[in-house]
Structure 1
Amino acid sequence: MVGAASVGIGLTTVPQAVASETCTSTTGARVCFETYGDHFFVYDTSEDGHRAAVKYYWDGSGGNYYCEKTDGAGGTPKDCNRDLPENVRVYFRADVCEGPCNREGAVVRTSAWDDALNVN
């Protein structure tokens, strides 16, 4: 029989990366950041006609960035798959907006800032 004898030849076990998720929320929006893969998940948690969004930046980014869920409450979250630098601290918050969140005065409610070390 062949098979079992070939298992140990030159094979090494590499541990799988583990995703770490950090979340923050305010009435009407919940945002989770998954460090492995650089994903923000934006949940619209209220049928109020407003947009749910994540506002984020990282050390050295030089500005703020947004990703919005525009299709209303319920359903699946908006998956904002980003390509962020590795080994930087990412700061983010959940926003509820009247129209596009990057517009002056559009933010209706916001959560506190949260952060996570992006290590993927």
Structure 2
Amino acid sequence: MLGLLGVANTVGLSVLERRREHALLRALGLTRRQLRRVLAAEGLLLALVAALLGTGIGVLYGWLGLATVIAPTLPSAGLVVPWGQLTTIVVVAAVAGLAACVLPARRAAGIAPAQGLTLD
């Protein structure tokens, strides 16, 4: 849930900060649907990169913890990585990233190009 709020906040701020750029893209011929798709791709990429980095770093820290703390006292212990659960987490993060960008993308696509170009 916290990740969903973080992605929504980042995409929302991106929409606010780049209103003129979005309006320029619309004035150059980008449709509302295409603009929503661009922002959806941005939200998806943010969520996927965060989930993959978090998963990779978590597995690395788990392996380092096992090697430094547990292996010296219990040599037969091995690292068991729940790949199915980690894959599920990455997929859920991707869907959450797409869901988090719906409202900001809708708001960005709703502004007329001429109105958006006059914004500060």
TM-score bucket (shorter structure): under 0.3
Give the structure-2-normalised TM-score.
0.23
Q: Which is greater in Rg?
A: 2
The TM-score with structure 1 as length reference comes to: 0.23
Q: Which has the higher contact order (CA 8 A, sep 6+)?
A: 2
Relative to its length, the structure with more strand (as a share) is 1
